[in-house]
Amino acid sequence: MITTSCKTEQAVDKSNPFFSKYETPFEVPPFDKIKAAHYMPAFESGMETGRKEVEAIVASKKKPTFENTIVALDKGGQLLTNVSAVFFAQSNANTNDSLQTLEVEISPKLAAFNDEIRLNPALFAKIKSVYENQSEFGLNDEQKYLLENLYKGFVRNGANLNEQDQDSLKKLNQKLAVLTVKYEQNVLEETNNYKLTLEKKDLAGLPEALVGQAAAAAKAAGLEGAYVFTTQRPSIFPFITYSPDRDLRRQIFTAYTMRGNNGNDYDNNKILSEIISLRAARAKLLGYKTHADIILEPRMAKNPENVMSLLNNLWEKAIPVAKKEVTMIQDIIRKEGGKFSLEPSDWWYYAEKLRKQKYDLDDNELRPYFRLENVREGAFECATKLYGITFNELKDIPLPHPDAQAFEVKESDGTHVGVLYMDFFTRESKRQGAWCGGYRNHQVLDGKRITPVVTTVFNFAPPSGDTPSLLSLDEVATVFHEFGHALEGLFARNTYNQVYVAQDFVELPSQIMEHWMSEPDVLKSYAKHYETGEVIPDALIQKIINSTYFNQGFSNVEVYAASLLDMAFHSIEAPAVVDVQSFEKDFFTKLGLIPEIVSRYRSTYFTHIMGGYDAGYYSYTWSAVLDNDAYEAFKEKGIFDRSTAESFRRNILEKDGTMDAMQMYVNFRGREPQIEPLLRNKGLL
């Protein structure tokens, strides 16, 4: 989004926190003072000032230069940037009816405003002049990268279209803005509306902590004495892992996989069909074959063929592994006297039995060692050992939600790096999943360094009674994953507000952090029994190591299936007329997805492809090639080798978005990435 600052409007309403300088510690947003009524005036004021500042750039009689055009465009926008950062963070993590209504209202207005800027012919003419005459301005590498991506971004967004086609593009963009918001809101409604209400007799086999959470959920729903399970991940997946009741497992799993596909007011089939059609039409209008082609052009992958080559290669290696796992699980069912074939809703239950059988490893045996607070401190300690930074909790500071925590991050010499928020627990006002965002990005403004404010958001089960929040091994990985994103945001050293991060590179900083979480020495630093304080035993660590390749066929297949489905939808040429359910069914049949496994995301609740991962869900896999190869560099010299860590920070974390992604990687690794470490670590060799 191109934004510009608001100065004259700041005096309009002094009661609106967005119209004044934040008088808070580290100038974080004053969350306690911001109300729903403050957003729209701030949005409108920010957009109006943006128009005026663009007009000033266009009206200048001076020859276009990098400073008077590119920097002038980049320097503005504080009001619109601020309100957008807070509003969209809250609409994702702490929404309500007012915010949802406002999101539907403001999204097409913002789309129209962005088009107004990007399709301004006089502004584009000045940018094009700077681009074509850049040799005159003595630009450094970061400035060249910014200019190239800004210019090409304008082109990809229709700057070269004629007026009639630009009008058509604007209409497409506004429709898409509304539809994608509605799609995500529908998934949230479907998730919140389902409750599996049980009695005590139905709880056989369930962990005590899960039962406590279900009792608390029932109480919150006014169902005292009952037990409520939901399609929130911390509820459904432990339930289908431990409940021996096959009918109940099937019931809740069906509710999970049918979200957005129930023919009710929150059905996403027609919405997704229209989104696919509009995206394809938009690509054709812009001169591209498909939506995937336009999305991939500025990324490492460059084109759909390269993505499909990687995914198909890995799919062919993963499917045989998954089929072997089916055979092993079906054997357990047979030995227990079962007269049925394995179904998707059975997988977690019998896979856990298989893990106990093969590795003598029980998730319930691990959870007591993974108290949330200890895991958080383990991630912090990793970063301290790698980079020398420290984390100090901030108590007297505005929080985006009462459950959130805030930390000041400092260099080893005490220099302020930034502020990190962490919001851990699931709630109905928060969309599913985990993510990292920012309330303020790093930049250098008029010679002054602006430090970042980063937020990480999770969906873990909250404490229940006397039992703290205890994480699964997968949830521990999620903490380290999002923390890796946060480190990139905190370490950023970009000069300009505009950065251009290759989406398929962005998961490298997050995914590489997951490698540390299961290293024996790291585990011993944070995995301590919540009741006794006992450090996780060596025998249990060895079981974790022994089970490294466990369930990898399933894990890989469900991710690759979702990635390939995303690419299939976005590789359709216009006019794209799609019956979503038929398309999905036919695609997975042709792909050879085995009936025992469901894609990690089905079409009607695939929120990633609404939130920036359209034709981009493959990015996790593309980045996996990078992170597995990059971690080899640490293993070669020691996983906490400071010189390797400093190189990773200097060449990757500080530079991302300011130079070519492959060049960044080569600067760190000394060569391009190799796929063998990924295949080896995934058990696919």
* Catalytic residue numbers, as ranges: 482
Are the C-beta atoms of 199 and 181 separated by less than 8 Å? no
Q: What are phi and psi of 442, to 5 degrees?
A: -70, 140
Query: 139 is written with which tokens?
Result: 């630009």
Are the C-beta atoms of 28 and 419 separated by less than 8 Å? yes
CA–CA gap between residue 333 and residue 462 (Å, rounded): 34
Q: What are phi and psi of 410, to 5 degrees?
A: -130, 155
Residue 146 buriedness (CB in 10 A; 0-12 / 13-18 / 19+): buried
Distance of CA 418 to the CA centre of its chain: 21
Three-state SS at 157: coil
CB atoms near residue 316 (< 10 Å): 12
Are the C-beta atoms of 491 and 436 separated by less than 8 Å? no
Q: What are phi and psi of 99, to 5 degrees?
A: -70, -35
What distances in angstroms separate CA 495 from CA 450, 505, 668, one per listed residue? Answer: 9, 20, 21
**Strand (E) or helix (H) holding 189:** helix 163-193
DSSP notation for 382-433: HHHHHH--EEEE-SSS--SSTT-EEEEEE-TTS-EEEEEEEEEE--TTS-SS
Q: In 3D, which of 52, 45, 3, 42 has the Cα closest to residue 22?
A: 42
Q: What are phi and psi of 24, to 5 degrees?
A: -135, 165
N-terminal to C-terminal alpha carbon distance within the chain = 43
